[in-house]
Amino acid sequence: MSALWSDSPPAPRLARRLLGSVLCTDDGAGRTTSGRIVETEAYLPRSDPACHAHHGPTRRNGSMFGPSGIAYVYRIYGLHHCLNVVSGVVGDGEAVLIRALEPLEGLERMAARRGVDDPRRLCDGPAKLVVALGVGPRDDGRRLNEGRLRIEAGQEPPAHRVRVTRRVGLTRGAGLALRFDLRGSAWISRRW
């Protein structure tokens, strides 16, 4: 089990730890795409009305109530998908949204999947990076420490390298400071 979530951390803690770690996918033909996580958001079931687990389990959010370190992939606006890392203990319903990556391996493959060439635009948003790495609904509930979709732990950045802000694109729970990014990164989401 990855040291990132072996202690079932609360979502804000995991959101900080994930900065600098590397998200990877294998396509089954020996080709890898990967990127360094540079922007995350934490979602908490109780005090946070924006959290999908706020109203308890549904068909969509079931994997949020599983153990730390599995994927929660959901559909947004009827057409895009976003990837979360589940956190907390079983039944908590906490998760961390991966919002942006610095592309590392397989940039050509990412560009082909996205239909975009500019490296800055490949993974600068939660629904974009899902496409670039070939993540989909079939990955919902998958463990992220092994297999075709993985997170390889990096070193958690020191506090002065982490910027904390309000989250993006919300009306409910908009005031909570639960968004984290690597200060000064050129790869964070564009809407920020």
Q: What is the 3-state secondary structure (H, E, C) of the chain?
A: CCCCCCCCCCHHHHHHHHCCCEEEEECCCCCEEEEEEEEEEEECCCCCCCCCCCCCCCCCCHHHHCCCCEEEEEEECCCEEEEEEEECCCCCCEEEEEEEEEEEECHHHHHHHHCCCCHHHCCCCHHHHHHHCCCCHHHCCCECCCCCEEEECCCCCCHHHEEEECCCCCCCCCCCCCEEEECCCCCCCCCC
Q: Nearest distance from residue 120's CB to DNA, in Å?
A: 11
Q: With binding defined as CB under 7 A, does residue 12 bind DNA?
A: no
Q: With binding defined as CB under 7 A, does residue 165 bind DNA?
A: no
Binding marks (x or -) toward DNA, 103..142, rule CB under 7 A? -----------xxx----x---xxxx--------------
| Sole binder of DNA in the list 31, 55, 120, 166 (CB under 7 A) | 55
| Sole binder of DNA in the list 77, 158, 184, 186 (CB under 7 A) | 77
| Sole binder of DNA in the list 1, 76, 90, 177 (CB under 7 A) | 76
Binding site for DNA (CB under 7 A): 41, 43, 50-55, 58-61, 64, 72, 74-80, 82, 84, 95, 97, 114-116, 121, 125-128, 167-172, 189, 191
